[in-house]
Structures are given as C-alpha cells and as structure tokens.
Amino acid sequence: MKKILIADKISPSGVAWLKEQPGIKVVEAQGVSAEELSSLVGDVAAILVRSETKITRAIMEAAPALVCVGRAGVGVDNIDVEAATERGVIVMNTPSGNTIATAELTFTHLLCCARPVPSAAASMRGGIWARKDFSGTELYGKTLGILGLGRIGTEVAKRALAFGMKVLAHDPYLTDARAKALGIEMASKEEVFAQADYITVHMPLTPQTENMIDSAAITRMKPGVRLVNVARGGLVNEEALAEGLRSGKVASAGFDVFTTEPLPADSPLRSLSKLTLTPHLGASTGEAQESVGIEIAQAVAQVLTGGPCVNAVNMPSIDPRLLQQLRPFILLAEKIGRLVGQLASERVEKLRITYWGTLTECDTLPLSRAIQRGYLRRISGQVNDVNAPHLIKRLGVDVQVTQSNGEADYRDLIQVEAVCTGGTVRSLAGTVVGKNHLPRIVLLDQYPLEFVPEGTLLIAENLDRPGIVGEIGTVLGAAGVNIANMTLSRTTDASGHALSVYQLSGAPDESALKRIRQNPAMLSVQVVEA
C-alpha cells in the first residue's frame, strides 16, 4: 500500500480520485507545522502540496520511503529541489493546468494598465464622479513585448493579436517557424525594451533572469511604458519599478507576484496609485484549481504504480510515444552501464557515450541517464534517474555524450567507453534485435561478438590456442555450474587474442576461477552480473 500525504488543500476531485485508486492510501494533513509534518512522513511515498507548505531537506530526511513530491501549480519555490535530487526524489508540477487562468489574469492587468478601472472603482465607492481623472489609452495598434513564450506567453500573444496589437516576443528557444505560425515577430530583449508600449514577463526565476528588468532596463524603454508581471517575483526589480512609476517613465503597471510574499505592509509598492496589485491570483480560478488538483493526483499515482513520469522538474519527462520507442534501448542502456562499470578494474574517470543511427534523431537524455543508473548500481542501491547525474558527478566521473554521424554496422547502436586511471579503456556497444527488440551486446573492447546481457556472465580473454574452451567447460562442470549460452570472438590483428563469454547458471566459486586463471594462455577472467 502506497501512502500519499496531502499537506495543502487541493481540488476535492483530485483527492476523491486518489482515494478510489487501488493500492493507495490517502492521508490529509493540511495546515500542520513543520514538526508535525516530519512526524507524519516516515512511511509516506508521496507528498502533495500547493504553495503554502515547505518541503525542506529535513522533511525529506524524515521520509525514507519518499518517491515524489507533487506541486499543484507551477512554481516549486517551496520545495528544496536540490535536496530532492540528491535523495532521488522526483519533484513534479502542473505547468499546463493553470495556463488559461494565468494568461487571462495577465490580460486583466494589461487592460487595467490601459484603463485605470481599479482607481475609478475606488473613486466611485468614495462617492466621487470624476470622469476626467481616469482617462486611459487603447490596446489596439500598440506593441506588446512578451519576454518568454512558453504556454502562458503563447496564450497571452493570442489574446493580444485578437485585440489588434503587434506582438514582439523574446525567447531563446523560440524558432522562426513557431513565431511565424503564431503571427508574431521574434525580437531580442533589447528590441523589446526599445519598441514595446506594453511589456509582460513569463520566464522562470533563475540566476540569469533575476532582476531582468532593473533600472538600466527601464531606462532603455519607451517613455510611458506599461509593465506586467504575473510570473515570478524577482524578475522585475521592485525598487526600480517604484522609481519608474514615480518619475513617469513607467506610466502604469500590474503585478501579481512579489519578491517577498505576502507583500510587506510597509512596501512602497502599496502607495503607488498607478500600480494594480493582486495577491498572487494567477491560478486562483475554480477551473484552474480543479485542473491542477486532478492533474497532480494522476501524475503522482502514475509514478507510484510504475508508470512514466510527466512534468518532473528534476529529471527528463518522456513523451509517451517517445518512451514507447526508446523503452527497449533504455533497458539496453542500463545493462551496458552496469556491465562496463564491472569490467573496469580501475577507477573510472570518464564515461564516453556515443549514439549512432536513428537514435541520434531522438532525445537521448533518458538513455544517458539509464547508462549512469546502471553504472551506479554496484556502488549505490538507492539510485534512479533523478539522482544518477548528481551521484556520478560526486564520484568525479566526467560524462561525455556524442551523437555520431558516422556509419555503424547496425541501424542503431549505443557505445559506452569507461576511461580509467592510467589510460585503460573498457568499451561495450549494443543494439536491439528482432521483432521483440531484445537487447544484445555486439562489441566488447576490440572484439566483435553477440551475446545476451542477462544473468551471470563469465568473460575470459586468452591467447588464441586450441582447447581453451574445453578446459573452461571442464572446470565449470566440475564446480556444478552449467553453461546456458556461449559466444566466441578473436582479434583480426596479429595479437592472436581471443575472447569468450559464457552465460552461466550461477557464479562459480573462487577455487574454480583460480583454476581457470592458472591456465598459462589465460589473459583475464571476470565474472559480472548483467
């Protein structure tokens, strides 16, 4: 039975759906203190939160069975993602559930920047009729600059075009084709600053985007520019914004998010009449909360029951169609990583991963993580796609990934080379074969061969002399070890070396291995587990 703890209030429909799932037990503990939460998570597999509850390193340390943390919403500022990654805990959010709600709130602020409706409404409630004091401007024909054209930015762009606005968009990942399809113009950040009448930001808060709009940026904007931020607090420097509003350089602004939330009572932003403030309402619609609650419930349940992970912020999320295509290669990749880690008898300094064929046309990050996961199996039992890169880095192993345009003997090929201290390199390459896409190793170091990476394998390199295979078989038979399969290879150069790989019914004891190694023609003997 997998236990899910719901620490914040999420959609009742999401909670009800979870309670109907077999093998899942739901515990609701909204509004508890950090100490109380720590005492409740000892056997919890997943925690669901919104923005109120903080999931800290200490809470994760108190939850040894924790598999994932689900955020019903976009931002994960209240979750220690770094600690989660180190512990192999998946952190998931719901980036699409509140897209429409946030886009509509953005446009509400844009409209309030153009027409001072909040101030006029407050004046009316005060018994004043002052039409001349609340003259506005039109959106039609104006230029909207959008910084960040993800899901929300795209929806804002669609609405701006419907209002007859010209849209300039700056996004490092936006392609010409995508911009053309949306009917917008690509622009640099500087072009947005210089040309836009209205600017709205839709980027995550990172070291690169923090204070993206500061005093220097506002100086480069058009006089009377209007600014909107419903994305993340800290993208716009609040002191620079206040100064811009006071000077008139910024005609008006609308903000839903702030550097410190709740907004402090003494914040200078509260006293600026041309600034419309809302208390982080981006996702605060009934439809959005219903959507994100059900979405995160389903995503968490899917992970806990062995399904694919979607919308993870600390591991690659795989499109279901791509997952179906890559699934046999993911198994192969983990097998190769596990084998090459055992073959390397010295400390590994580098893992060089190379992909050939149609794999180069896919997102190979899931494969690279599977290789790292397999490599780490012999070192750490608690390893998954989340913490594998972190653990590899902590070991000092440099992972290098190449997608080759060269020709290979197989339609698709994965090769992993372990570069060891002293320059020794152990190499394995594999592919999948047949209608069932079964994994096969097709190259071990310089030896071309084919064997199934399954079970206990004895790998012997020797001088290419008659009788070696028979002697190995005799020793194994005497030790009560059966040979299920065997494959042979030899070098094509003048070294006169050969390699044999035996799939065994079990691992031979040390005395049997010692007898095999005592053969003067034997160069190396290793037993590995695939």
CATH of 99-277, one of 3.40.50.720, 3.20.20.70, 3.90.550.10, 3.40.30.10: 3.40.50.720
What pLDDT was estimated at residue 322?
A: 75
Are the C-beta atoms of residues 256 and 281 closer than 8 Å to each other?
Answer: yes
Identified catalytic residue from 35, 36, 261, 287: 261
Q: Per-residue pLDDT tens for 25-43?
A: 999 999 899 999 999 999 9
Q: Per-residue pLDDT tens for 389-407?
A: 888 888 899 999 999 888 7
More confident residue, 6 or 491: 6
- Distance in angstroms (rounded) separating the CA atoms of residues 158 and 519: 76
Token reading at 267: 């914040």
What pLDDT was estimated at residue 266?
A: 92
Question: What is the helix (H) or strand (E) element at residue 24, kind and residue range?
Answer: strand 24-28
pLDDT exceeds 90 at position 427: yes
Q: Per-residue pLDDT tens for 333-389?
A: 999 999 999 999 888 999 999 999 989 988 898 899 999 999 998 876 568 888 888
The answer to whether 2-96+288-304 and 99-277 have equal CATH topology is yes
Domain ranges of the chain: 2-96+288-304, 99-277, 318-445, 455-530
pLDDT exceeds 90 at position 61: yes
- Distance in angstroms (rounded) separating the CA atoms of residues 316 and 314: 7
* Cβ density class 159-196: b for 16+ within 10 Å, e for less: bbeebebbbbbbbeebeeeebeebebebbebeebbebb
455-530 domain in CATH 3.30.70.260? yes
Identified catalytic residue from 50, 71, 87, 232: 232
What pLDDT was estimated at residue 319?
A: 67
The reply to whether 280 belongs to the active site is yes
SS3 338: helix
The topology (CATH level 3) of 2-96+288-304 is: Rossmann fold (3.40.50)
- Distance in angstroms (rounded) separating the CA atoms of residues 100 and 124: 31
Residues in the chain: 530
Write down the pTM of the prediction. 0.63
- The architecture of the domain spanning 318-445 is 2-Layer Sandwich (3.30)
Q: Per-residue pLDDT tens for 133-187?
A: 999 999 999 999 999 998 899 999 999 999 999 999 999 878 888 899 999 999 9
What residues does 144 pair with on adjacent strands? 167, 198
Token reading at 252: 């008006």
- Name residue, tokens 């236990």: 3
Candidate from 22-31, 306-315, 318-327 with smallest mean pLDDT: 318-327
The reply to whether 295 belongs to the active site is no
The reply to whether 261 belongs to the active site is yes
- Distance in angstroms (rounded) separating the CA atoms of residues 81 and 59: 12
Name the residue among 282, 253, 350, 232 with its Cα closest to residue 100.
282
Token reading at 77: 């500022």
Identified catalytic residue from 178, 280, 390, 437: 280
